[in-house]
Amino acid sequence: MTILTILLLACITFGTRYLFLEGRLPVRMGSNLKLFLSYSGPAVLTAITMPILFVHKNQLDTALDNPYLWGALAAIAAAYKTANIYWTVGLGMLVFVGVSSQIL
């Protein structure tokens, strides 16, 4: 019974992922839809990122000792200057760990 439930759940996660990759599905990609979808990357990634940074224990955390705030500012600066994923993650993590362990 549990196995059957797991299989059905697998159908849901795979089905939702695969559906629109199927060419035979009749979806017309008009220019309006394409323009709309062109913002999906930044939109989704920002929507995942912001709660990680500022919602802790279901509370808005904008305190100045929030290490996520300083780590994010360092990461934004690094991303702006270098546009490089390794520099951005490296510098961001460094500042994040520094502030969380109260070294900085």
Binding residues for another protein, rule: CB under 8 A, are: 2-3, 5-10, 12-14, 16-23, 27, 29, 32, 34-55, 58-60, 67-68, 71-72, 75-76, 78-80, 83-85, 88-89, 92-93, 96-97, 100
> For residues 64 and 28, what is the distance between their CA atoms, to the nearest angstrom?
48
**R_g over Cα of the chain:** 20
- From the CB of 94, what's the least distance to another protein, in Å? 10
Rounded distance between C-alpha atoms, residue 76 and residue 92, angstroms: 8
Closest approach, Cβ 99 to another protein, in A, equals 10
Q: Which tokens hold the place of 81?
A: 């200057």
Rounded to a whole number of angstroms, the minimum distance from the CB of residue 33 to another protein is 8
CB 63 → another protein: shortest distance, Å?
15
Gap between the Cα atoms of 89 and 75, Å rounded? 7
